[in-house]
C-alpha cells in the first residue's frame, strides 16, 4: 500500500515524460500508476460526485464522458446505469481504459472507447456530456468543448469539474484569486501536463447557457494548508 503511494507520488513529481504524441505522453505518464490511480485521485479530485449529482441523470438517457480515465465516475451513478440507454466512456490512454473495461464489464450498456475527446462523436446525440478533470489535460480544450456541444442534443446538459485559476479581473459575482494563487498553481501542475487557466470557465460561460456554477478551494494530498481552486459548471445546450 505504502509503496503504491510512493510510486504514484514519484510519477506525479517526475511529470509527464517526453513522447512523440499527446496519446503517447498520456500512456507513459499513466501506465506506471494505473493500478493505484483511483485510490490517489479520491483525495485529489474534488467535486466529482457533486458534478454527477448536479447532472440529475434520468432513466433512458444517453451519457457520454470525455476523458473518462478508469471510469471511476460511473460508480457515482452505478445504481442508475441499468436504466440508462447508454454510457460511453472515451479516453486516449490505453492503460487507464483497461481499468475502465474491467470496471464496465458488469454493465452491457456501457462502452469504453479509445478516442480523442476533440473528435469522438456518438452515433446518437447524448442527453448529457461531462468532463471530469480532463479539460485541463487536453491541449486543444476549446475544440473538445465545441465537440462536446456537437455531441449533445438540444436541451442536453454539459457538466465540467476541474482545476482552474480566476481571471486577474473576474466578472462581477465570480471568485477572485490572489496573484500567488494565479501563478503558483499553473506552475505546480504544468509538469504533469495539467494546464490551469481562467479561459476554460470563461469559454464555457460564453458558449453554453449556465445553469449552475460553484467555485471552490480543494485540499491537495501532502500539501497541508494549501488549497487549489476548482470549479463545477453545468450548462444547458440551446
Ligand X SMILES: C[S@@+](CC[C@H](N)C(=O)[O-])C[C@H]1O[C@@H](n2cnc3c(N)ncnc32)[C@H](O)[C@@H]1O
Residue pair 237/155 in contact (Cβ under 8 Å)? The answer is: yes
Query: For residue 99, which phi and psi values (nearest 5 degrees)?
Result: -65, -40
Residue pair 127/63 in contact (Cβ under 8 Å)? The answer is: yes
**Nearest distance from residue 238's CB to ligand X, in Å?**
25
Interface positions, 47-66, toward ligand X (CB under 6 A): 48
**Nearest distance from residue 176's CB to ligand X, in Å?**
26
Q: Which of 52, 55, 57, 69 binds ligand X (CB under 6 A)?
A: 69
- Write the binding mask 5 to 34 for ligand X: x where contact by CB under 6 A, - elsewhere: ---------------------x--------
Q: Maximum distance among all alpha carbons in the chain? A: 49
Give the residue with the Cβ less far from ligand X, 62 or 209: 62
Q: Which of 11, 33, 118, 181 binds ligand X (CB under 6 A)?
A: 118
Length of the chain counted residue by residue = 238
* Short-list 202, 136, 137, CA closest to 168: 202
Give the residue with the Cβ less far from ligand X, 47 or 235: 47
78 three-state secondary structure: coil
Matching residue, cell 442534443: 153
Range list of H helices, 58-133: 94-104
**Nearest distance from residue 208's CB to ligand X, in Å?**
19
Is 138 a residue that touches ligand X (CB under 6 A)? yes
Report the residue closest to ligand X, judged by CB.
69
| Count of residues engaged in binding ligand X, rule: CB under 6 A | 22
**Nearest distance from residue 148's CB to ligand X, in Å?**
11
Q: How far apart are CA 70 and CA 86, in angstroms?
A: 17
**DSSP structure string for 45-75:** -TTHHHHHHHHT--TT-EEEEES-TT-GGGG
Q: Which of 116, 147, 166, 237 binds ligand X (CB under 6 A)?
A: 116
Instruction: At 167, list the grid cell.
Output: 481571471
Give the residue with the Cβ less far from ligand X, 98 or 167: 98
- Would you tell me which residues interact with ligand X (CB under 6 A)? 26, 41, 45, 48, 67-69, 72-73, 90-93, 96, 116-118, 132-134, 137-138
Amino acid at each position: 500500500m505504502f509503496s503504491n503511494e510512493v510510486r504514484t507520488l514519484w510519477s506525479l513529481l517526475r511529470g509527464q515524460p517526453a513522447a512523440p504524441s499527446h496519446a503517447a505522453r498520456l500512456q507513459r505518464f499513466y501506465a506506471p500508476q494505473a493500478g493505484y490511480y483511483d485510490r490517489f485521485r479520491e483525495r485529489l479530485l474534488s467535486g466529482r460526485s457533486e458534478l454527477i449529482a448536479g447532472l440529475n441523470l434520468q432513466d433512458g438517457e444517453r451519457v457520454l464522458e470525455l476523458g473518462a480515465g478508469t471510469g471511476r465516475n460511473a460508480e457515482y451513478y452505478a445504481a442508475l446505469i441499468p436504466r440508462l440507454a447508454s454510457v460511453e466512456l472515451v479516453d486516449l490512454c490505453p492503460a487507464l481504459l483497461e481499468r475502465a473495461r474491467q470496471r464496465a464489464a458488469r454493465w452491457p450498456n456501457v462502452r469504453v472507447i479509445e478516442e480523442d475527446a476533440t473528435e469522438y462523436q456518438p452515433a446518437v446525440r447524448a442527453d448529457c456530456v461531462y468532463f471530469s478533470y480532463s479539460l485541463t489535460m487536453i491541449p486543444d480544450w476549446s475544440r473538445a468543448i465545441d465537440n462536446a456541444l456537437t455531441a449533445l442534443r438540444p436541451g442536453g446538459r454539459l457538466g465540467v469539474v476541474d482545476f482552474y485559476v480566476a481571471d486577474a479581473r473576474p466578472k462581477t459575482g465570480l471568485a477572485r484569486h490572489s496573484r500567488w494563487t494565479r501563478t503558483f498553481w499553473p506552475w505546480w501542475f504544468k509538469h504533469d501536463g495539467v494546464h490551469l487557466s481562467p479561459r476554460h470557465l470563461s469559454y464555457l460561460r460564453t458558449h453554453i447557457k449556465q445553469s449552475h456554477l460553484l467555485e471552490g478551494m480543494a485540499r491537495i494530498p501532502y500539501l497541508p494548508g494549501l488549497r487549489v481552486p476548482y470549479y463545477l459548471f453545468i450548462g444547458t445546450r440551446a
